[in-house]
């Protein structure tokens, strides 16, 4: 297994050459000049060093050892506590946090790069700070000043950590039927009672305190989602002077024994009349929790990119070194018994699948991050409205498509190794196992597709979609030069096709609600590949402009990789589109008893 190295050259290409992120940051009033490319470069360098020197070396050992539970106490694998301490001391947990409470206030377009680096180094490790960052975001957006003052500084500092407690044994996505209760207490707090499952980082030994954001219902709450409230429930109560007080009756009943991310503690959490504090308004907790959930959805999408990058680095190293058979065109290294397997067309196909899709994913995650930055930091109402629309539309695409592609990429990376890919010591099988969960948690990818198709497209009759499509068409109109035609023309055809599919499903859904769910997964994939074609057109434009200064062939390689995507990957949209056009009828011909 190759030693993980942060893909800093490609990250800089995306931020600097493709998106000119530094200029955007300097022109966003809400950032107050806190970020520029010099600062970003320095932070990326440090993140890369920490990832390769501290976090990646405990990845395989953490998988082998796993998180351990005994009598309600969870112990993380050897090295995790020390690595987390260094990570927290570097301020990384509060990277995007509110500076008023000790956060760094850095833009999300930089944050997504750091997240990818940490996920690429060690998926299990990355999940602990990712949950804390999301918890901070929800608390900062919806908590009272008193709660923010009491909890955010230590959360940003990484001395405390955060969780998200939604799922219960009898319900997953359908949160309207949760049973956890919140009973008002005389002092204005609430007594929280119930059981939550699949709680990432619900118990561990990395921090002094763990802050749970818990969905629960008051005794007189309306039925369904409209009766859900959100509560902050600390593991240890916090005294008025900020010191830790007595243990709250919150316990870890067990941890799950999982297929992957074994060093990440996935907990059953029992709340037995635990003291909690209302976050936001009564019966509006789901809206508040969605602030955290949407953060985590993008973060988990980025997990797919990190896994892809790590898999590619190992696969390409192996393909250059492993000798087997001769190239179809004749011996490439006649002094050896065989040629490196990178000469074989099928190995190149797998490597280019990973490379072209990972680089497009990285660009798209940066693009989504920039929309979040615009939405949050601009003072222009029209820009904010556009940013909000794109964030709403693209978040389910990012979560689901990044992770679907991430699993496919890690499987291709494993396949490059042949039989060795199935052996643990090479590391590829761990990446496959780790990547698989990303399609499931934070809302399964089927739910993400339904969100994209139903809430974000059909419900508003394509209003959000039109914002994206208009931007793509504007790029096409502005880039009609011959040099870029091989990227722009396929993009134009792809966006025409997506326009047609969008209109078709909106129309059909008016008379048949099943059309939304029947089309959703394939539609999301067509959307994803089309968005990637847009990213590749933008990357190709940036690379073409820099060919005169290409001593190491980086920009030429970028163009060649983009051509592979356009010619070999983008055509997938045609079969997927035919599936959408087939409609819902084939799904419902069978009676339930006939399955």
* Active-site amino acid positions: 442
Beta bridge partners of 160: 209
CB 258 within 8 A of CB 266: yes
Task: Return the H-helix or E-strand segment holding 211.
Answer: strand 209-216
Residue 325 CB partners (closer than 8 Å, separation 6+): 338, 339, 341, 344
* Count of beta carbons in the 10 Å neighbourhood of residue 156: 26
Take residue 173 and report the two structure tokens written for it: 């996505």
Sign of dihedral through CA atoms 273, 279, 281, 287? negative
Report helix, strand or coil for 565: helix
Taking the C-alpha atoms of residue 449 and residue 456, their distance in angstroms, rounded to an integer, is 10
Residues 6+ apart with CB under 8 A from 482: none
Contacts 24+ apart (CB under 8 A), 174-180: 175/215, 175/225, 175/228, 175/286, 176/223, 176/224, 176/225, 176/227, 176/228, 177/224, 178/215, 178/216, 178/217, 178/228, 179/217, 180/214, 180/215, 180/216, 180/217, 180/271
> Which spans in 55-107 are helix H?
59-65, 80-89
The dihedrals phi and psi of 446, each to the nearest 5 degrees, come to -65, -40
The whole-angstrom separation of Cα 31 and Cα 376 is 9
**Rounded Cα gap, residues 521 and 49, in angstroms:** 38
| Count of Cβ atoms closer than 10 Å to residue 57 Cβ | 17
CB 80 within 8 A of CB 125: yes
- Residues 540 and 537: their CA atoms lie apart, in Å, by 5
Task: Decide if 412 contacts 66 (C-beta within 8 A).
Answer: no
Q: How many residues does the chain have?
A: 595
Distances (CA, A) of 377 to 47, 77, 139, 370, 387: 24, 39, 18, 10, 10
Encoded tokens for 269: 């959490």
Q: What are the DSSP E strand ranges found in 21-150?
A: 68-70, 73-75
3 state DSSP class of 168 = strand
- What separation in angstroms does the CA of 279 have from each of 145, 262, 430, 458, 467? 11, 31, 38, 32, 33
Q: Which residues pair with 81 in a beta bridge?
A: none
């Amino acid at each position: 297994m190759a030693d993980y190295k942060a893909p800093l050259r490609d990250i800089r290409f995306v931020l600097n050459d493709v998106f000119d992120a530094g200029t955007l940051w300097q022109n966003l009033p809400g950032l107050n000049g806190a970020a520029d490319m010099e600062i970003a470069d320095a932070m990326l360098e440090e993140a890369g060093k920490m990832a390769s020197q501290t976090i990646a070396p405990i990845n395989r050992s953490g998988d082998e050892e796993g998180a351990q539970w005994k009598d309600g106490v969870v112990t993380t694998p050897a090295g995790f506590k020390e690595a987390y301490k260094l990570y927290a001391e570097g301020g990384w947990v509060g990277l995007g946090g509110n500076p008023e409470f000790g956060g760094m206030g850095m833009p999300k377009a930089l944050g997504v790069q750091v997240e990818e680096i940490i996920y690429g180094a060690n998926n299990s490790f990355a999940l602990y700070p990712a949950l804390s960052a999301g918890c901070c975001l929800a608390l900062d957006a919806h908590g009272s000043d008193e709660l923010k003052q009491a909890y955010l500084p230590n959360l940003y500092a990484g001395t405390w950590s955060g969780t998200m407690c939604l799922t219960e044994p009898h319900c997953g996505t359908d949160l309207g039927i949760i049973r956890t209760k919140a009973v008002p207490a005389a002092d204005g707090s609430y007594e929280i009672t119930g059981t939550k499952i699949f709680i990432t980082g619900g118990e561990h030994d990395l921090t002094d305190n763990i802050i749970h954001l818990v969905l629960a219902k008051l005794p007189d709450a309306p039925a369904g989602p409209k009766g859900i409230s959100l509560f902050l429930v600390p593991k240890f109560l916090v005294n008025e002077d900020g010191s830790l007080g007595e243990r709250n009756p919150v316990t870890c009943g067990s941890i799950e024994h999982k297929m992957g991310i074994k060093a990440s503690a996935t907990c059953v959490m029992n709340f037995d009349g635990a003291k909690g504090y209302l976050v936001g308004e009564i019966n509006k907790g789901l809206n508040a929790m969605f602030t955290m959930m949407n953060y985590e959805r993008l973060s988990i999408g980025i997990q797919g990119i990190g896994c892809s990058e790590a898999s590619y680095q190992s696969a390409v190293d192996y393909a250059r070194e492993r000798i087997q058979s001769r190239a179809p065109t004749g011996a490439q290294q006649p002094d050896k018994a065989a040629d490196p397997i990178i000469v074989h067309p099928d190995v190149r196909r797998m490597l280019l699948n990973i490379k072209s899709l990972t680089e497009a994913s990285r660009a798209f995650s940066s693009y989504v991050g920039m929309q979040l930055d615009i939405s949050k930091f601009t003072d222009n109402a029209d820009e904010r409205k556009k940013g909000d629309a794109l964030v709403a539309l693209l978040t389910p695409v990012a979560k689901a498509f990044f992770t679907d592609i991430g699993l496919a990429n890690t499987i291709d990376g494993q396949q490059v190794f042949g039989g060795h890919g199935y052996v643990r010591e090479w590391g590829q099988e761990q990446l496959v196992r780790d990547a698989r969960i990303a399609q499931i948690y934070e809302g399964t990818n089927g739910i993400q597709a339904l969100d994209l198709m139903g809430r974000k497209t059909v419900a508003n009759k394509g209003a959000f979609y039109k914002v994206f499509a208009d931007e793509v068409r504007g790029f096409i109109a502005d880039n009609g030069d011959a040099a870029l035609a091989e990227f722009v023309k396929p993009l134009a055809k792809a966006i025409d096709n997506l326009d047609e599919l969008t209109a078709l499903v909106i129309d059909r859904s008016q008379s048949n609600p099943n059309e939304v769910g029947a089309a959703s997964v394939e539609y999301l994939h067509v959307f994803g590949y089309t968005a990637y074609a847009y990213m590749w057109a933008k990357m190709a434009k940036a690379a073409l402009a820099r060919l005169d200064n290409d001593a190491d062939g980086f920009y030429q390689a970028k163009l060649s990789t983009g051509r592979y995507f356009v010619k070999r990957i983008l055509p997938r949209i045609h079969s997927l589109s035919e599936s959408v056009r087939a409609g819902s009828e084939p799904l419902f011909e069978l009676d339930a008893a006939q399955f």
